[in-house]
């Protein structure tokens, strides 16, 4: 009797498990993992969806374990790129499924790449579609591609990376090393374009197939003194790595309105307090002919924002940026390590950054009319309720706001040299 009861319960429990279980499971050999997804404007339908599918056999190497197989050595390309012209992102996945043998999974899609044309038309509807899909990874990176996303995915075959997802992950973290582009995740863009206090922005990507001919004149040839005067696709690099990431796409709402180059992106990150590290070049303040001084800069602490309403109703935003610079390269030979010269350099550098920031702010106010810095987040504190904040409509008022930038720089370290001496010559 007792045994029968126990058996009955066991059976019931087992049935419960079998009735509910297993259906959500999916073996790895029933799935293709889409590593990156690209979107272009379609000619006949809404869009061309391009997927870059991982080839696990090639990535796992199969050399060590699968010695027995022999025939097909599993080598070949790490990714397979396929495109379809279709209605929308998920419809594209469905349609691509007709040519692949397995389910296409977005669980490991690390990058969503939108072409500039699409971005200028507005990304909101596609973002909301994707973010509703249960397989979406909200921490994946989003890029705006100058040119066609299809080309980008097809030609982006980093020769040194085993798997392309690693490229996107590392590129995200590399932003902290030079600040030439920002690090923007899917969820951030989605939140920003819904926000009443900030406008979204995305990093720029492009394929550069030319050579060095896109180079712009440097400081000694009468050009600008900065490194970051390029945007992706124009940086004069030759070699096998064809993909470039540089600059920022500025959005108003979900529509792209313009681009910032690498240098402006650095100012943008400084103003947002997200600038981690970077090598900046300024003109030597004590030498007449143009000569550069390289400084390795990082943000000492987060910027301080002070906002106030003026009597006429306009808003003033004061931003204090705190930078720390390390001496990196000095071509003039002046001893800037000395306590007398250091303040001069600090002063010149602060002024240089301040000017850059002010120019950038003017551009966003006049050209883009878009508060990508999120000053609205600071202004919001003056309002008691969300309703009054929304009625105030900051994003419309931003172009009229007065933004003052103050830069505080300290040169802390001089690298491995304590003193600069002039070049001695026997003449």
Q: Does 149 bind other proteins (CB under 8 A)?
A: no
**Collapsing DSSP states into helix, strand and coil, what is residue 400?**
helix
* Residue pointed to by tokens 């070949």: 76
Which H or E run contains 308? Answer: strand 292-309
Choose between 135 and 276: whose C-beta lies nearer to other proteins.
135
Whole-number minimum distance, CB 68 to other proteins, in Å? 5
Q: Is 54 in the site for other proteins (CB under 8 A)?
A: yes
Minimum distance from CB of 360 to other proteins (Å)? Answer: 35
CB of 332 to other proteins, least distance (A): 47
Q: Please list every residue from 95 through 134 that binds other proteins, using CB under 8 A.
A: 105, 107-108, 110
Structure tokens at 369: 């009319």
Q: Which stretch binds other proteins (CB under 8 A): 67-75, 197-205, 340-348, 375-383?
A: 67-75
Among 3, 43, 67, 424, binds other proteins (CB under 8 A): 67
Count of positions on this chain that bind other proteins (CB under 8 A): 39
Query: Does 61 contact other proteins by CB under 8 A?
Result: yes
Q: Between residue 254 and residue 313, which ones bind other proteins under the rule CB under 8 A?
A: none
C-alpha span between 78 and 164 (Å, rounded): 8
CB atoms inside a 10 Å sphere around CB 296: 16
349-373 burial code (b ≥16 CB/10 A, e <16): bbebbbebbeebbeebbeebebbbb
104 forms bridges with which residues in the sheet? Answer: 32
Q: Alpha helix locations (H) across 21-123?
A: 56-60, 89-96, 116-121
Q: Is residue 62 at the binding interface for other proteins, with CB under 8 A as the rule?
A: yes
Q: Candidates 27-35, 282-290, 301-309, 415-423 — which segment interacts with other proteins by CB under 8 A?
A: 27-35
Comparing CB distances to other proteins, the nearer of 111 and 180 is 111
Tell me the closest approach of the beta carbon of residue 76 to other proteins, in angstroms: 12
Choices 24-32, 116-124, 343-351, 372-380; region in contact with other proteins by CB under 8 A: 24-32
Residue from 82, 83, 157, 165 binding other proteins (CB under 8 A)? 165
Paired tokens of 40? 């272009």
Is 162 or 220 the residue whose CB approaches other proteins more closely?
Answer: 162
C-alpha–C-alpha distance, residues 351 and 357, integer Å: 10
Q: How far is the CB of 406 from other proteins (least distance, A)?
A: 43
CA–CA separation, 150 and 125 (whole Å):
20
Q: Parallel, antiparallel, or unpaired: how do β-strands 243-252 and 103-105 relate?
A: unpaired
Choose between 86 and 109: whose C-beta lies nearer to other proteins: 109
Any contact of residue 58 with other proteins (CB under 8 A)? yes
Rule CB under 8 A: choose which of 8, 10, 15, 69 binds other proteins.
69
Q: Among residues 110 and 208, whose Cβ is nearest to other proteins?
A: 110
Closest Cα partner for 207 from 182, 232, 183, 231?
Answer: 232
Q: Does 17 bind other proteins (CB under 8 A)?
A: yes
Q: Output 60 or 329, the one with its CB closest to other proteins.
A: 60
Pick the closer one to other proteins by CB: 170 or 344.
170
**Contact, 146 vs 164, CB < 8 A?**
no
- For residue 332, what are the contacts with CB-CB under 8 A and spacing of at least 6? 284, 286, 287, 291, 293
CA angle 381–385–389, rounded 5-degree value = 65
Q: How far is the CB of 55 from other proteins (least distance, A)?
A: 8
Please say whether the beta carbons of 179 and 264 come within 8 A: no
Binding segment (CB under 8 A) for other proteins, from list 51-59, 193-201, 397-405, 410-418: 51-59
Closer residue to other proteins in complex, CB, 29/366? 29
Cα angle at 269 between 323 and 189, to 5 degrees? 155
Residue 385's contacts (CB-CB under 8 Å, 6 or more residues apart) are none
Tell me the DSSP string of 95-127.
HHTTTSSSEEE-TT--EEEEEHHHHHH--HHHH
Among the listed residues 33, 152, 268, 398, the single contact to other proteins using CB under 8 A: 33
**Shorter beta-carbon distance to other proteins: residue 93 or 269:** 93
Interface ranges with other proteins (CB under 8 A): 17-18, 20-22, 24-29, 31, 33, 35, 54, 56-62, 64-69, 74, 105, 107-108, 110, 135, 137, 162-163, 165-166
């Amino acid at each position: 009797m007792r045994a029968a009861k126990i058996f009955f319960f066991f059976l019931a429990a087992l049935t419960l498990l079998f009735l509910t279980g297993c259906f959500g499971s999916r073996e790895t050999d029933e799935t293709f993992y889409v590593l990156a997804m690209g979107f272009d404007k379609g000619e006949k339908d809404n869009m061309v969806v391009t997927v870059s599918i991982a080839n696990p056999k090639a990535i796992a190497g199969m050399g060590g374990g699968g010695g027995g197989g022999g025939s097909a050595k599993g080598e070949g390309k790490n990714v397979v790129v396929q495109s379809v012209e279709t209605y929308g992102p998920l419809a594209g996945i469905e349609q691509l499924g007709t040519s692949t043998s397995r389910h296409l999974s977005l669980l490991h899609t690390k990058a969503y790449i939108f072409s500039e044309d699409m971005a200028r038309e507005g990304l909101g509807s596609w973002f909301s579609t994707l973010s509703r899909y249960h397989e979406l990874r909200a921490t994946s990176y989003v890029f705006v591609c100058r040119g066609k996303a299809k080309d980008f995915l097809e030609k982006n075959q980093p020769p040194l990376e085993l798997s392309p997802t690693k490229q996107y992950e590392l590129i995200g973290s590399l932003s902290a090393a030079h600040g030439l582009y920002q690090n923007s995740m899917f969820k951030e863009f989605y939140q920003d374009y819904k926000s009443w206090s900030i406008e979204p922005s995305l990093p720029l990507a492009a394929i550069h197939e030319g050579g060095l001919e896109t180079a712009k004149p440097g400081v000694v040839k009468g050009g600008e003194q900065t490194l970051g005067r390029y945007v992706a696709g124009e940086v004069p690099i030759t070699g096998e790595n064809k993909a470039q990431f540089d600059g920022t796409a500025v959005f108003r709402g979900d529509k792209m309105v313009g681009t910032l180059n690498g240098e402006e992106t650095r100012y943008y990150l400084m103003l947002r307090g997200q600038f981690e590290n970077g090598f900046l070049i300024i003109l030597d303040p004590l030498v007449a002919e143009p000569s550069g001084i390289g400084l390795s800069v990082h943000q000492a602490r987060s910027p301080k924002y002070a906002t106030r309403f003026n009597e006429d109703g306009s808003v003033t935003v004061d931003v204090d940026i705190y930078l720390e610079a390390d001496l990196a390269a000095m071509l003039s030979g002046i001893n800037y390590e000395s306590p007398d010269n250091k303040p001069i350099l600090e002063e010149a550098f602060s002024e240089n950054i301040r000017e850059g920031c002010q120019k950038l702010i003017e551009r966003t106010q006049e050209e883009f009319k878009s508060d990508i810095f999120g000053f609205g987040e600071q202004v919001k504190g003056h309002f008691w309720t969300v309703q009054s904040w929304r009625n105030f409509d900051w994003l419309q008022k931003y172009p009229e706001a007065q933004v003052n930038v103050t830069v505080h720089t300290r040169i802390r370290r001089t690298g491995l040299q304590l003193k600069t001496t002039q070049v001695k010559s026997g003449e």
